[in-house]
A and B are shown apart, each in its own frame.
Chain A
Amino acid sequence: KAGVTQTPRYLIKTRGQQVTLSCSPISGHRSVSWYQQTPGQGLQFLFEYFSETQRNKGNFPGRFSGRQFSNSRSEMNVSTLELGDSALYLCASSPGRGANYGYTFGSGTRLTVV
């Protein structure tokens, strides 16, 4: 059974640019959540999608957005990149909504903004 696939693994962008990250959840999983990991702030929740609808959003500016497609694949977009957006972006998939279903994380996309 394939795990959670995140592409690309590494990305370097320039300040002011925008970036799109992709996440393919485990087959049959309908919930996809995104997290940002930085040395200073740790792992922080960005947003959750379930059945193509954003169900929950973390405390991030509007430059961070996402969407989910009918096949449950998800993308997140960051516009007008800032140096502070450099981080490991992690996607987690779950068969349903609720921590008791369990979350499986992908290996992440390492974004570096220069």
Chain B
Amino acid sequence: DQQVKQNSPSLSVQEGRISILNCDYTNSMFDYFLWYKKYPAEGPTFLISISSIKDKNEDGRFTVFLNKSAKHLSLHIVPSQPGDSAVYFCAASARAAGNKLTFGGGTRVLVKP
């Protein structure tokens, strides 16, 4: 039972354009959401997070949007840079369930120069 889904396994975007990554979840108990970036042979690196009491959080080139009614969140990267090429994971956490992270399957992003 996949509680967090990233339906696009890959995304290709031109340098300077916007990258939009999507994530859907099914568990209404999730109250905190995070995005991580991962390069091969390295651990995930934290990018940005959002609490369920907000609908938007911005940090530099990264913005996360949360639509609770649709159980959907998205990560916008503007402008995309070649160094952004990596696998991006969406993760969700529920305080009531002990704070463990439930990850989506990941989206591989390729930014073309």
Listed in ascending order, the chain A residues whose CB lies under 8 Å from chain B are 4, 6, 33, 35, 42-45, 48, 55-56, 58, 90, 92, 97-100, 102-108, 110
Q: Is B25 an interface residue (CB 8 A)?
A: no
CB distance from A82 to the nearest CB of B (A): 22
- B88 lies within 8 A of chain A by Cβ: no
Is B100 touching A45 in the complex (CB atoms < 8 A)? yes
B70 near A: Cβ within 8 Å? no
Main secondary structure of the interface of B (DSSP, over half): strand
A-B contact count (CB 8 A): 65
Q: Per-residue 0/1 for B86-102: is the Cβ within 8 Å of any A Cβ (1 yes, 0 no)?
A: 00010101010011111
With known contacts A42-B106, A43-B89, A107-B41, A99–B99 Cβ distance under 8 A: yes
Contacts of A43 in B (CB 8 A): 44, 89, 91, 101, 103
B41-63: which have CB < 8 Å to A? 41-46, 49, 51
For residue A12, give the distance in angstroms from its CB to the closest CB of chain B.
16
* B binding-site residues for A, Cβ under 8 Å: 32, 34, 36, 41-46, 49, 51, 89, 91, 93, 95, 98-106
Given A43-B103, A99-B32, A107-B41, CB of A48 within 8 Å of CB of B98: yes
Q: Shortest beta-carbon distance, B54 to chain A, in Å? A: 12
Instruction: Give 3 closest A-B pairs by Cβ, nearest first.
Output: A105-B43, A99-B93, A56-B98
| A33 in contact with B100 (CB, 8 Å) | yes
Are the CB atoms of A106 and B43 closer together than 8 Å?
yes
